[in-house]
Amino acid sequence: MHSDIQWIEAIAPDMVEMLSHRYLVLRTINWMAPVGRRLLAQTLEVSERTLRTETDTLRKLDLIVTDKAGMQLTQPGKDVLLGLSQFMDELMGIRQKERQLAQRFNLKRCIIVSGDSDRQLKVIGTMGEEVNQLLQRLLPEGNNIIAVMGGHTMEHVANHLSSKLASKRDLLFVPARGGVGESVAIQANTIASQMAQHTGGKFRSLFVPEQVSERTYEPLLKEPSIQEVLGIIRQANVVIHSVGDAVSMAHRRDMSEDQIKVLRGRHAVGEAFGYFFDKDGNVVYRIPRIGLQIGELANMEIILAVAGGASKATAIEAYMKIAPKKTCLITDEGAANLILKK
């Protein structure tokens, strides 16, 4: 594919440039729809006059429509965008970046989707679609126990799983760790429930506080209902989780100002599974949460880490220094470009 692109550029460089530009216009309209020309021009960093020429052409080709709300793709436009996605990823060098990222972290595989989820929310949905496709290829037939973490990214992932995953498979979704205490919509219990609903699978809940004291921790572990769910979690063959910015995650979990001060003092940059780590991947703080621990990930057959956005680049890079090497990272250009620049 790479050599084919080189030959095309050699004989028709203008064609490659035009194709790339129109594809970017289509893709950005899809992310922002409905969107006006002025905002679109600002996002693409081109003049409205230049953009008008392109959008007029795309409209004549029946790839976009315009109404009072703004521009959006037609079904043929969506088909073209989907059909060109793999070719354009190669043309724009995304596949090469995936290989570089996997090599940098010594991971099994990395997948990069176009865009920056900090700027375009739909990019998180695209990462969710990639998770769905990966699971379709990787999940064995028969019984599968899938442990999932909570969070906004995981909420989007749940919404993009399909019932096709349950074909010839029995899927059981469980929360990887306790999560009662944060917003209900993004608790691990809720994510497990949503994933089961979208796929036609089953789920189990783990009702324990997000943060518990050491004194409370031991008695909870002895509760029969909690022991049962923890036993199921430890039988999981798949885990899907995200990675967060340390301070943002601390605020989300209502940690005290004293705790946050400790995190800052220890230079924490990221969080996963209740573990806070610095830029070198050293664990500097830990919340004694009930459920899956980082050390148990090595027993998993499939590990999917889903995190994107330029704001998470440092956190992702730090976590990947301690992540199991069988981990598959699904991220976006916003994070990947910053990581690869270092």
Find the DSSP H helices in 67-144. 75-91, 94-105, 122-138
CA distances from 327 to 171, 185, 272, 323, 337 (A): 20, 26, 13, 7, 20
pLDDT for residue 2 is more than 60:
no
Pairing between strand 327-332 and 302-306? parallel
Tens of pLDDT, residues 242-271: 999 999 999 888 888 999 999 999 999 999
Q: What's the token pair of residue 111?
A: 């997948």
Tens of pLDDT, residues 127-157: 999 999 999 999 999 999 999 999 999 999 9
Phi then psi for residue 210, to 5 deg, are -60, -45
CA distances from 183 to 114, 179, 192, 258 (A): 29, 9, 15, 22
CA proximity to 152, closest of 37, 260, 43, 312: 312
Residue 61 banded pLDDT, cuts 50, 70, 90: very high
- Fold of the domain spanning 2-91: Arc Repressor Mutant, subunit A (1.10.10)
Q: Report domain 94-341's class.
A: alpha beta
Residue 222 is given by DSSP the state: T
- Domain limits of the chain? 2-91, 94-341
Say whether 174 sits in a helix, a strand or coil: strand
Pairing between strand 275-277 and 270-272? antiparallel
CA proximity to 106, closest of 282, 328, 289, 271: 328
Q: What's the token pair of residue 163?
A: 């019932």
Tens of pLDDT, residues 192-246: 999 999 999 999 998 876 666 667 767 777 788 888 999 999 999 999 999 999 9
